[in-house]
Structure 1
Amino acid sequence: MLRFMPVGDSMTIGSAGEHTWRYRLWQHLCTAYGEPFTLVGPRETLHDPTADAPTSYAYADPEFPRAHLAGWGEGWCHMAPLIGDAVRSCRADVLLVSLGLIDLGFYTNAEQTADNVRAFVAGARGARPRVRMAVMPVVRNIRVEADETFAGQVARFNALLAETAAELDEPGSPILLVPPPATYDFHTDTYDGTHPNESGEHKIAGAFAEAMWQEWGLGGPYKPS
């Protein structure tokens, strides 16, 4: 059984009442992938805006493997120390990673964030040497449009991420840089300028699905359901 682990920030954990892009990808793989698979991770909850804590199980549709390693306000700097134990305990085969926005916004600059990417990769491989990683660059949000300095850091990090992924890519443990959804627009694909709404969830899930299909032969072309 192939075990996918979604790793991310608030865009990945989602909030109470949402489906999440994790659910959209699960639906897609159920119809497109011919072998047994599941989603794994040490966490299952959504973010509860009322409690401001990851305590909600109120998924729009809870009937899917809800496991993940994602957290509201968490980035590469938070996940790098956790990934080894998570990969080891959950026996993850494929990591689906969407991180960076929160790092650049609050914690680290582009170069420091890229260093944390390296630490993350090392930790994952230390736990499971043949783990695959599909990594999405930071997608544009409302702050990128409003803050020129932040926009520059996002552009710089995305360039460093591409270089780092190419450098660390190995045949036995490939790193796939997932092209951000070409039509993703934070004006229409988010509910607040950052967090995906239904169309945004589909576009993020579709980006991961298409990249894995084209580069690794996993699944098939993304068809929203």
Structure 2
Amino acid sequence: MLRFMPVGDSMTIGSAGEHTWRYRLWQHLCRTYGGPFTFVGPRETLYDKSADAPTSHAYADPDFPRAHLAGWGEGWLHMAPLIAEAVREGRADVLLVSLGLIDLGFYTNAEQTAENVRSFVTEARGANPRVRMVILPVIANIRAASDAAFADQVMSFNDLLAKATADLDEPRSPLLLAALPDTYDIHADTYDGTHPNASGEHRIAGAFADALAQGWGIGEEYAHT
């Protein structure tokens, strides 16, 4: 049984009424991966905007393993101290990580965020020395379109993330840097310039699926529309 753990921020946890990219990836792997697998993690709720809390179970389709380690407003800074216990308890084999926008927007600069990436990897390996990770670069949001300094921070962090992924990669615990979805359009693939709508969910799921297929032969490449 291959155990995936989605780790992320608001784009990963999703909000009430959504499918989430986690669901889209689950559906894809059910179609294309021949072995048994599941999703693991200490949380399973969606974010409820009316309650301003992660208390909703109202998935558009709840018929999939909803476990994850994702939080609205959480980043590398927040997840690094949590990941060891989550990996240990969930017995995670593969981490699917989408973090960084919150860090850069509110907490840390590109260099500090990259240091938290390294801490996250160290902590995860402390819990499972053979854990594998697929890491998605930050998808620039609507703020980056109007705030040049923030856009520069996103670009700088993504460069540092690529370096960290290459530096930290090792045979027994490999790291894959997923490719940013090359057709991602914040006007067409989000509902507010940041959070994915249905087409955005498919594109993020596709980024992870393509990395898994191309890097490790897990499943097939995503059927992009």
Q: Normalising by structure 2, report the TM-score.
A: 0.99
Shift of 1:34: 0.2
Partner of 2:165: 165
Instruction: For 1:79 and 1:221, locate their aligned partners in 2 and report how far apart those are by CA, in whole Å.
Output: 28
> Equivalent residue for 2:142?
142
Instruction: State the aligned residue count.
Output: 225
Q: Equivalent residue for 1:49?
A: 49
Aligned partner of 1:103 in structure 2 is 103
- Deviation (angstroms), 1:224: 6.0
**Aligned to 1:38, what secondary structure does the other structure show?**
strand
Please give the residue correspondences for 1:187-206 in structure 2 after superposition, counting only pairs within 5 Å.
187-206=187-206
Please give the alpha-carbon distance, in whole angstroms, between the structure 1 residues aligned to 2:161 and 2:207: 17
Residue equivalent to 2:29: 29
Residue deviations 1:1-44 (CA, integer Å, cap 9, x gap): 00000000000000000000000000000010000000000000
CA drift of 1:221 comes to 1.8
Residue 66 of structure 2 aligns with an amino acid whose one-letter code is R
> C-alpha distance in 1, partners of 2:69/2:10?
11
1:14 matched to 2:14? The reply is yes
Amino acid at match of 1:189: D
What do residues 70-127 of structure 1 show as CA deviations (whole Å, max 9, x unaligned)? 0000000000000000000000000000000000000000000000000000000000
Instruction: Output the amino acid matched with 1:177.
Output: L
Residues 28 and 224 in structure 1, CA contact (< 8 A), matched pair in contact too: no
Supply the RMSD in Å over aligned alpha carbons: 0.9
Q: Distance in 2 between matches of 1:24 and 1:54?
A: 20
**Partner amino acid for 2:201?**
E
Runs of 4+ in 1 over 3 A off after TM superposition: none
Residues 139-158 of structure 1 deviation map (CA, whole Å, 9 limit, x = unaligned): 12101101011001101100
Instruction: Return the offset for 1:222.
Output: 1.1
Q: Following the alignment from structure 1 to structure 2, what is the Cα–Cα distance between the partners of residues 51 and 126?
A: 36
Q: Percent of aligned pairs with the same residue?
A: 75
